[in-house]
Structures are given as structure tokens and as C-alpha cells.
Amino acid sequence: MQKFKAIIVDDELRARTLLKSLIDEYCPDIFVDELCDNLPNAVKAIRKHKPDIVFLDIEMPGHSGLELLDFFNEDEINFSIIFTTAYNQYAIDAIKLSAFDYILKPIEPEELEKAIDRLKRKKNTTEKISEQVLENNKIAIPTSNGLKFIDIDSVIYLKADNTYTEVYQTDGTKLIVSRTLKNFEDTLLPIKHLFRCNKSYIVNTKYVTDYVKSDGGYLILNQKTIIPISPDKVSDFLELSSIVKR
């Protein structure tokens, strides 16, 4: 049985203990590492335990649960958020925050089980897709209705936009995906010509036409698009290309 680590964030002691009891009884493959009563403590717990799931209340003193991702860099967001709240007007904000799921209080065991089952299916699907990427030269892009499969070679570059990623293609179209750039990086890691050149971009090196050292260093894609490259990434990038020596 696959195990998942979780933390619970809620300012009400009764709500925290009740949710933990429900998880212990109905979701035996979820291990709760810590119960947190506010957002600052939750941030510390996430960095310490690196959970798979964060059960997160929204209405809390000091900080709203909707502010959680403001405390993390994009590459630190390796957890799924399940909001637990009595106020369903927050549903749209939760979706914008890329929360995995949303459970209304009082929490029913059946709704909790459904949320965990959806999370498991998502994880299993992602793993299977990752295994198949190299075989069929395609990448699966999550959409509101399912998955869109596109050729890897049609991707010129990917750009981080908070918890979303913009995917730019050779036909001029741009897809906006509710996944972090780190999610894409983890999936596409085996593909050598897709290169993380800085914290905000992954480029397809097949479309790099120039590397310019001035102005901090940048790449030019298709002779028109300028993408900055971090100084510590330059040597790795140059190793991917055959350099004509002087």
C-alpha cells in the first residue's frame, strides 16, 4: 500500500483533531505528521516534513489559507492542497490557487475518501504518463476536461506563472496549465533537449539559435524570443552543444 504524508492546518483544535480522527479511521494510507494552528507554523511544518498533502483551512487569524503558496518558491511546491472550510464561496479562489480538492465542513467521511481516491488516481496517472513520454514523444497537458497530448518537439519553451505554466508552441499557440514548472521539470527530466535555464523557464534547445554573454547572459529562440539564462546554468547548457573550438 502506497503511503502519503500529510499535515493538517486549522486554527480550531476541535477541527484539527476531528479531521485527524477521520483520516486515521477512513484513510489508513495517510500518515499525519503534524497538526498546525496557523499559517506560519504550517510553513515550518511543510519545510520540515515535506508532505504529499496539506489539509488547509481558509478562515484563520493572521493569515488566510489562500496565502500559503506566497511563502514558497515555485520549486518548493511539491504538495497537493485540499481545502477544508465551511465557506463554499472560497471555491473559486481555491481553484485559482491550484488546490487539488475542496471539502466543505462538517467533513463527511465519504467526501474525505473521495478526495483521497481522486488524489491517488491523479498520482498514478501522472506516473504512467511520465513513463510513456519517451516512448511516444508526447507530453500530456492537463485540461479542464481531461488531457491534451502534444508532441514534445512542438514545444518551444515553458514559462512559470506562479502556480501555473505557460506552454509556447511552434504553431504560435500558448497553453496555460494549472501545474507548476517544477511539475513539468520532474516529468520531462529524461528528455535531454529540454533544459531548465533559470527558475522561470524551460527551453527546447532544438530551437536555440544564439547564446549571448552580455547583459547577464541570454538565449535566443528561433532568432526572435529572448530568454535569460542563469550564470550557473551556462556550463550545463554549453555541454549540450558541440562547440567549434578556436
Find, among 224, 28, 231, 223, the residue nearest to 116 by Cα: 28
Cell of 142: 492537463
Q: Over 90: is that where the pLDDT of 10 sits? A: yes
Summarised one tens digit per residue, pLDDT across range 144-160 is 667 788 888 999 999 99
Q: Over 70: is that where the pLDDT of 1 sits? A: no
End-to-end Cα spacing for the chain: 58
pLDDT of residue 241: 72
Which CATH class for the 137-239 domain? Answer: mainly beta
4-128 — its CATH code?
A: 3.40.50.2300
Q: For the beta carbon of residue 179, count every other beta carbon within 10 angstroms.
A: 18
Mean pLDDT of the chain: 85
pLDDT of residue 34: 96
pLDDT of residue 202: 95
Given a contact cutoff of 8 angstroms between Cβ atoms, the answer to whether 68 and 60 are in contact is no
Summarised one tens digit per residue, pLDDT across range 191-245 is 888 999 999 999 999 999 999 999 889 999 998 999 999 999 998 898 887 655 5
Phi, psi of 207 (to 5 degrees): -105, 5
- Indicate the domain borders of the chain: 4-128, 137-239
Model confidence band, residue 163 (pLDDT cutoffs 50, 70, 90): confident
pLDDT of residue 201: 95
Instruction: Specify the DSSP class assigned to residue 79.
Output: S
- Select the more confidently predicted residue: 145 or 57: 57
For residue 106, cis peptide bond before it (omega within 30 degrees of 0): yes
pLDDT of residue 31: 95
Q: Over 70: is that where the pLDDT of 132 sits? A: no
pLDDT of residue 127: 55
| Residue listed under C-alpha cell 485540461 | 143
- Select the more confidently predicted residue: 192 or 83: 83
What is the SS3 assignment for 23? helix
pLDDT of residue 98: 60
